[in-house]
Structure 1
Amino acid sequence: MAIEQLSDGRWKVDVEPVKGKRFRKTFKTKGEAQRFEATCRAKCIESPSWSPKPKDKRRLSELVDRHYDLHGHTLADGERVRQILIALAKDLGNPIAITLTANAYCEKRRHQLDAGVHGKTLNNRLGYLKAVFNQLLRLDDIDYPNPLTKVRPLRLQERPLSFLSAPQINEVLDALDARETTPGIGLVARVCLATGARWGEAQALTPERVKNGAVTFANTKSRKTRSIPISQALEQQLQHHFKQHGLFSNCMLTFSRVLDTTSIKLPAGQATHVLRHTFASHFVMRGGNILVLQKILGHASLTMTMRYAHLAPDHLQDALTLNPLADK
């Protein structure tokens, strides 16, 4: 008999689709056993040399490393993401990857949320882990569906973007210029404010990428280079710094410390990034085009840039004239 029930309730398949080629396997349910038997018969008819693949026993951390070897190493922040995923695999108990379920993941996520892990952090982790399964499935390194396909990100309350007013910009720049132990830190901030660059992009500038009235940012988050015009005065200041001090040092942490000495209080996680928000916000408030802003910031999607649209002078002004009380 090809399928029989064992004394412990499991179902055993013992099938010989072609003479001399026999397959045996046990399953928890009769349906699984029947599907396995049907697959064996159909595949052996199509290709007599076919054999079912052995069960994938790799653990989640092994899939993370495999993903890094095949694809992750090509990403700008691949190593950082790998470390995050290794820690996540440990938090999940590092199960055999094929046994991971959406329910198990969501239960663990709830505990992490209760423990104070920020929702955005949890959504980032979910996106990273989904990408591991999707990429390995695309490369035929796994042959089972992504177990997290139906897990949705947490719905988060949108936070207003913080940006600096003109007096606050002066306060920050004065505090940075006074930091004599870190030459050029104020200049990095000025590049961010003048171009909308991320701190790391501005900090990585070299003399060769500052010329002809523009700065060119390479090794960006989007992997695309972009050139942004700057004033002649800022170009001269940059070239003078390179001649006198060489390249900029890694001063992101110093910026946060200097910011703490000012009267400016920002939401968590918006230290150096407030300079990028400040550029974008003032650009829009002065009537700048949102599509131009997208190119300047290097956003791959207009959705990210649209966060600043509400700051435009004419944004939603029709609400004043077209509301039902306008004529009263």
Structure 2
Amino acid sequence: MSDTLEAHQLMDEWLLHLRGINGAAEKTISAYRQDVAAFLGFITTHKGMGCSKAALASIDIKDMRAWMAASRRAGLGARSLARALSSVKSFYRWLGEQFNLPITSVLATRAPKFEKPLPRPVEANAAKALIDCVEIQAKQGWVGARDVAVMTLLYGCGMRISEALGLNGDAAPLPDSLKIMGKGGKQRLIPVLPIAKQAVQTYLRLCPHPQEADQPLFRGVRGGRLNPRAIQKVMEQSRMQLGLPASATPHAMRHSFATHLLEAGGDLRSIQELLGHASLTSTQAYTAINQAHLMEVYRKTHPSGS
């Protein structure tokens, strides 16, 4: 077995572990594979020898800095490099557990600093206007009702578009609390507002395709599962008509859900659970949005603000 083959087999074993034990999603697995394979390729060239288990064990902080510098020169942005480093660290933690390899240098490597952009929600009145506007874009009444139902779930329940479009017929009629399968196969329970229930029922009443438990809840014109692009497109048309910025996307409706909950007095931990964030850090971004909004109001209304 060649040294390089050994390293890639180790990577495959690690990914199999993530998929089987941790239930990682296929997109996550694919991203990890890409990041770690690129790292192994660099180490092979940098060390001038096959990337064996011994080579992996010999990696020190200088090697890590050389990899990061080479990645940046190749055009990898700070955010993407931080993600790649996280992937490599995850791989090394597994190597340490399985083979007792020294991993201190890799884990001690610091990610490049980058300014994480704040989520850009849609104002409450604009969110409602968007939901009203998408209905009139469709040539068929049932398609308009479908788009309204999807948008209402995004804004009223904080669902990701993939989560809403991933629902099957057995989800209807929507219950008071709906179990959602989110990122990484993690489940969460979200409350369903009466307006969301009504929007879905209106759509189902008009939909020409039969409601079947094991078939998609939201259907395309030909009857297959609705493509996210259809919702993105109708949102683009609606925001142009309303004069809203390009940041008014389907995902922005989820941001709006979180921001407006926070403004209404919701606590971060509850919002984290509703959104399905793995870390509270992700949810805390909405605190910054709220503070920025308050400062903008202050500047506009305070006598000394102008």
TM-score for both structures, normalised by structure 1:
0.66
| Partner residue, 1:145 | 102
- Partner SS for 1:87: helix
Offset from partner CA, 1:46-96 (integer Å, 9 cap, x none): xxxxxxxxx977544322211122333444544323333333344342631
| Partner residue, 2:91 | 132
User: Among residues 166, 170, 193, which one is paired with 1:208 in the alignment?
Assistant: 170
1:291–1:85 distance in 2 versus 1, CA, 3 Å: closer
- Partner SS for 1:163: coil
CA–CA distance in 2 between the matches of 1:84 and 1:77? 11
Post-superposition shift, 1:203?
A: 1.6
C-alpha contact (below 8 Å) 2:174/2:192 kept by paired residues: no
C-alpha contact (below 8 Å) 2:235/2:250 kept by paired residues: no
Post-superposition shift, 1:305?
A: 2.0
1:291–1:81 distance in 2 versus 1, CA, 3 Å: closer
Q: Which moved more, 1:146-155 or 1:232-241?
A: 232-241
1:158 correspondence with 2:116: yes
| Partner residue, 1:69 | 16
Post-superposition shift, 1:172?
A: 3.5
Post-superposition shift, 1:302?
A: 2.7
CA–CA distance in 2 between the matches of 1:145 and 1:70? 20
CA–CA distance in 2 between the matches of 1:214 and 1:232? 8
Residue identity opposite 1:145 in structure 2: P
Higher relative contact order (CA 8 A, sep 6+): 2
CA–CA distance in 1 between the matches of 2:130 and 2:264? 21
1:67–1:60 distance in 2 versus 1, CA, 3 Å: same
User: Among residues 305, 314, 323, which one is paired with 2:283 in the alignment?
Assistant: 305
1:260–1:239 distance in 2 versus 1, CA, 3 Å: closer
- Partner SS for 2:8: helix
| Partner residue, 1:254 | 230
TM-align CA RMSD? 3.5
TM-score for both structures, normalised by structure 2:
0.70
User: Among residues 244, 257, 261, which one is paired with 1:279 in the alignment?
Assistant: 257
User: Among residues 56, 70, 80, which one is paired with 1:121 in the alignment?
Assistant: 80
Residue identity opposite 2:78 in structure 1: G
Unaligned runs of 5+ in 1: 1-54, 321-328
| Partner residue, 1:189 | 151
Residue identity opposite 1:162 in structure 2: R
| Partner residue, 1:289 | 267
C-alpha contact (below 8 Å) 2:24/2:185 kept by paired residues: no
User: Among residues 245, 270, 283, which one is paired with 1:265 in the alignment?
Assistant: 245
Offset from partner CA, 1:261-286 (integer Å, 9 cap, x none): 4344346xx94321211111111122
Post-superposition shift, 1:151?
A: 1.3
Offset from partner CA, 1:105-145 (integer Å, 9 cap, x none): 4333334334443322221222122112212432x2x3312
Offset from partner CA, 1:146-168 (integer Å, 9 cap, x none): 35212111211132220111343
C-alpha contact (below 8 Å) 1:123/1:154 kept by paired residues: yes
- Partner SS for 1:288: coil
Residue identity opposite 2:126 in structure 1: Q
C-alpha contact (below 8 Å) 2:36/2:84 kept by paired residues: no
User: Moved runs in structure 1, 4+ residues, more than 6 A?
Assistant: none
Q: Which structure has greater strand proportion?
A: 1
1:144–1:220 distance in 2 versus 1, CA, 3 Å: same
CA–CA distance in 2 between the matches of 1:316 and 1:64? 48
C-alpha contact (below 8 Å) 2:158/2:274 kept by paired residues: yes
C-alpha contact (below 8 Å) 2:148/2:199 kept by paired residues: no
Unaligned runs of 5+ in 2: 45-50, 212-216, 219-224, 299-306
Post-superposition shift, 1:222?
A: 5.7
